């Protein structure tokens, strides 16, 4: 495993926690679209919130280990980053779906595309060590 300053690489932890949020997202999204027959964009938002909660807990306590910061402030910053990433993801999702890609595949691809944006903003702002 890569090391940064004697610590496991933050990006690797980010990806592990992100994978847990991603799987949560997909597990929630699929039945909303295929069983409940919910509109894709609405199902995307609901599934994203579920993945958001899983990732918030993981990133706060493990990825960035920044529990000294106020959970309210940190949560608000993480929410702002997630809202921005959600907006970008929905735009990518809608473009892919309009191109004929199935909803589940479009959702999975769009999440993968916005992950680097999410990491950068979370590391630099939402979970930045406060001095």
Q: Is residue 110 part of a domain?
A: yes
Q: Is the dihedral of CA 18, 20, 21, 26 positive or negative?
A: positive
Question: 42 or 75, which is more confident?
Answer: 42
46-73 average pLDDT score: 86
Tell me how many domains the chain contains: 1
Q: Residues 44, 111: contact at Cβ < 8 Å?
A: no
What is the extent of the structural domain holding 97? Answer: 10-126
Q: Is residue 66 part of a domain?
A: yes
Q: Is residue 27 part of a domain?
A: yes
- For the ranges 57-61, 68-72, 105-109, the lowest mean pLDDT is seen at 68-72
Q: How far is CA 25 from the centre of its chain?
A: 9
CA atoms within 13 A on the CB side of 58: 20
pLDDT of residue 6: 42
Q: Is residue 2 part of a domain?
A: no
Is the pTM of the predicted complex or chain greater than 0.75? no
Query: Which residue, 106, 55, 100, is CA-closest to 78?
Result: 55
- In which band, very low, low, confident or very high, does the pLDDT at 5 lie, cut at 50, 70 and 90? very low
Q: Residues 104, 29: contact at Cβ < 8 Å?
A: yes
List, for residues 84-129, the tens digit of each pLDDT value.
Answer: 998 999 999 999 999 999 998 998 899 889 988 888 898 889 888 6
pLDDT of residue 131: 52
Q: Is residue 131 part of a domain?
A: no
């Amino acid at each position: 495993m890569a090391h940064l300053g004697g610590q496991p690489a933050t990006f690797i932890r980010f990806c592990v926690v992100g994978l847990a949020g991603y799987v949560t997202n997909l597990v929630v999204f699929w039945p909303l679209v295929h069983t409940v027959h919910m509109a894709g964009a609405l199902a995307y938002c609901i599934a994203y919130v579920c993945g958001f909660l899983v990732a918030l807990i993981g990133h706060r306590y493990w990825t960035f280990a920044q529990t000294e910061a106020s959970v309210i402030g940190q949560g608000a910053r993480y929410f702002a980053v997630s809202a921005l990433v959600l907006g970008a993801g929905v735009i990518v999702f809608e473009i892919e779906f309009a191109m004929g890609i199935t909803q589940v595949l479009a959702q999975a691809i769009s999440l993968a595309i916005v992950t680097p944006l999410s990491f950068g903003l979370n590391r630099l702002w939402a979970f930045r060590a406060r001095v």
